[in-house]
Structure 1
């Protein structure tokens, strides 16, 4: 049985790092703020299940800290 790629742990960690990096690199205040809010929403949805097995808490903490 194969899970969709987005459910693979390495994909979640990679996306969290990518989203956190994108947030840190945004420079335009007006549109950047809207993009940051959307990315924050996306990141929270991605890691909504905190009890998931195999989730690297350091990666999650880094991504959530950047919100």
Structure 2
């Protein structure tokens, strides 16, 4: 990673290792956030679809849709 190279440039292997660890943790947090965000978007889409189906059921009088 770029941050490790910067730490090594200053000749401090401890700082380089620490910078690398922090970078890895941040990358992990960003990855988890993106998964959570995409699952939230998916849930919103599914909720929207479910609402759409319920609206159709109300309009047609069809009660085959099971609420989630």
TM bin, normalised by shorter chain, reads: 0.3 to 0.5
Which structure is higher in helix share?
2
Question: Which of structures 1 and 2 has the bigger CA Rg?
Answer: 2
* TM-score normalized with structure 2 length: 0.37
Relative to the length of structure 1, the TM-score reads 0.37
Asked which structure has the greater RCO (Cα within 8 Å, sep 6+), the reply is 1
